[in-house]
Amino acid sequence: MILDTPPPAVRPAPRANEIAYVIRRGDTADQLSRNYLVEGRDWRALLRLARVQNPRRLPTGRQIRIPRNWLRYRIEPARLASYRGRVAITSEGRETSAVIGASIGEGMFISTAANSFATLILADQSRIVLPSQSRVRVRELRRILLTNAIDYRLEVTNGRLETKVQPLEGSSGRYRIETPVSMTAVRGTEFRVSFAAGTAITEVLSGHVLVTDADGQRRELALDPGIGAARDGEGAVRTEPLLPAPALEDPGAVKLDDIVEFRAAPTPGAARYRLVIASDAGFIDNNVEQISEDGHFSFADIPNGNQFARISAITSSGIEGFAQSYGFKRRLASLHASVDTADDGYRFRWWGSGSGARRYRFQLLGDTPGAPPIVDRVGLEQDSLTLHRLAPGVYHWRVGLLQIEADDTVETWTNPEKLTIAAPSRTRKADR
């Protein structure tokens, strides 16, 4: 259900640009200014904030609010933890290719091409995932020296960003995600932010977030878990509950075929579905993603091994709902078969892909798929078999595969195929 939300009441937040500090025993204005203030701000400014005159006697326990731009900080670059596909890192107009472990600092852009992914780990162990066709600018990755609080600011210029934020310690930490029309501030939560066609979307999976206009001070909107909000360039906001996570049909089936397929169970309210495949349960190392309107997904070139699939539903307004993850096993052992006529018989052929030793079994059955085998050949190494002098009638046939590699054994069969052999026509001799 979409709720057309009226513009929230204006709630100015001037203190967002201040740091609260409680004076400790032994603090002096000179010591604080030398260790924590930027050049151009000295102990006299602190005295005015503390409302005292003696620089050697600051009142223990008194709280003072110091403008953030007065305070020194250290920069804490992010780390490129994983990537797939084409990922570009741009710094000062110069583009470089992605390298695992690369340092991502302030002012840099990171962008992903189609069917590409990148995962960043921040210094506080918060995680950021950039899905396909996304571009993010790193604005600030700082730690305030006075309070040891983080001050992170990222901008989504296009596409999406998924993040899991570590809980912030103290009241002075900030974690902000901006778009050209919105700013999302959190204190420890899991959420997504996207920007496309002039609209910014925030989806809250856990915790609470605060969404404002791009300047961070107008039309403040608090979002609870399970709520998504869309904000356009004019400031209009609409919210709606997130759709529940869809289910996948038979998610535990071993994926043997050349094409890995999934199908989502229908979810009321869904206009389309998104499925992501990753090599890890935390979806840090994403391999591929796809969007489908009918919930059917087909992927090529999925490597062997234990993989993970994550499915979510998207409403017509573009707000994506909760996701559900499944583990599955990928073991390429495809098998295809056909039959052709041959001299005085029928030639059955089979082929497929997979590694390890491959042995085949051929069965010719009676007139129903469940009939006992008329022909049963096992341990075949070749890729064809010709049967001669088959009597007219209706048959079914299938080919089995036993694929062995190390300690892994896979057995699969083709679906039974029908073969009809017509009786030869009789030519009646002309009357003499």
In terms of DSSP bridges, do strands 384-388 and 345-351 run parallel, antiparallel, or are they unpaired? Answer: antiparallel
- Domain at 39, CATH number: 3.10.350.10
> In the prediction, which pLDDT does 227 show?
95
Do 37 and 113 belong together in one domain?
no
Single residue among 183, 210, 241 that ends a domain in this structure: 241
Do 181 and 310 belong together in one domain?
no
Do 99 and 235 belong together in one domain?
yes
> In the prediction, which pLDDT does 19 show?
87
Do 26 and 114 belong together in one domain?
no
Q: Please report whether residue 92 resides in a domain.
A: yes
> In the prediction, which pLDDT does 15 show?
53
Do 86 and 229 belong together in one domain?
yes
> In the prediction, which pLDDT does 2 show?
38
> In the prediction, which pLDDT does 5 show?
41
Single residue among 301, 330, 359 that ends a domain in this structure: 330
Number of domains in the chain: 4
Q: Please report whether residue 430 resides in a domain.
A: no
- Domain at 376, CATH number: 2.60.40.10
Q: Please report whether residue 251 resides in a domain.
A: no
Do 96 and 232 belong together in one domain?
yes
Give residue 239's Cα distance to chain centre: 23
Amino acid at 134: S
φ, ψ (nearest 5 deg) of residue 424: -60, 140
> In the prediction, which pLDDT does 55 show?
72
- Domain at 141, CATH number: 2.60.120.1440
Do 100 and 22 belong together in one domain?
no
> In the prediction, which pLDDT does 3 show?
40
Do 304 and 276 belong together in one domain?
yes
- Counted residue by residue, the chain has a size of 432
Q: Please report whether residue 7 resides in a domain.
A: no
Looking up tokens 């604080």 gives 32
Q: Please report whether residue 196 resides in a domain.
A: yes
Q: What CA–CA distance (Å, rounded) separates 201 from 354?
A: 43
Do 286 and 386 belong together in one domain?
no
- Full residue range of the structural domain in which residue 26 is found: 13-70
Do 116 and 57 belong together in one domain?
no
Q: What CA–CA distance (Å, rounded) separates 111 from 192?
A: 17
CB distance 150 to 174 below 8 Å: yes
Q: Please report whether residue 432 resides in a domain.
A: no
Q: What CA–CA distance (Å, rounded) separates 379 from 404?
A: 13
In angstroms and rounded to an integer, the radius of gyration of the C-alpha atoms of the chain is 32
CB distance 317 to 2 below 8 Å: yes
Do 105 and 146 belong together in one domain?
yes
Query: Please, what are the averages of pLDDT over each run of 10 residues along the chain (432 residues)?
Result: 37 62 87 88 82 79 88 95 95 92 96 94 94 96 93 95 86 89 87 93 93 71 93 85 97 94 97 96 92 96 94 96 96 96 91 95 94 95 94 96 90 96 71 44
SS (H, E, C) the chain: CCEEECCCCCCCCHHHHEEEEECCCCCCHHHHHHHHECCCCCHHHHHHHHCCCCCCCCCCCCEEEEEHHHECEEECCEEEEEEECCEEEEECCEEEECCCCCEECCCCEEEECCCCEEEEECCCCCEEEECCCCEEEEEEEEEECCCCEEEEEEEEEEEEEEEECCCCCCCCCEEEEEECCEEEEECCCEEEEEEECCEEEEEEEECCEEEECCCCCCCCEEECCCEEEEEECCCCEEEEECCCCCCECCCCCCECCCCEEEEECCCCCCCEEEEEEECCCCCCCEEEEEEECCCEEEECCCCCEEEEEEEEEECCCCCEEEEEEEEEEECCECCEEEEEEECCEEEEEEECCECCEEEEEEEEECCCCCCCEEEEEEEECCCEEEEECCCCEEEEEEEEEEEEECCEEEEEECCCEEEEECCCCCCCCCCC
From first CA to last CA, the distance across the chain in angstroms is 88
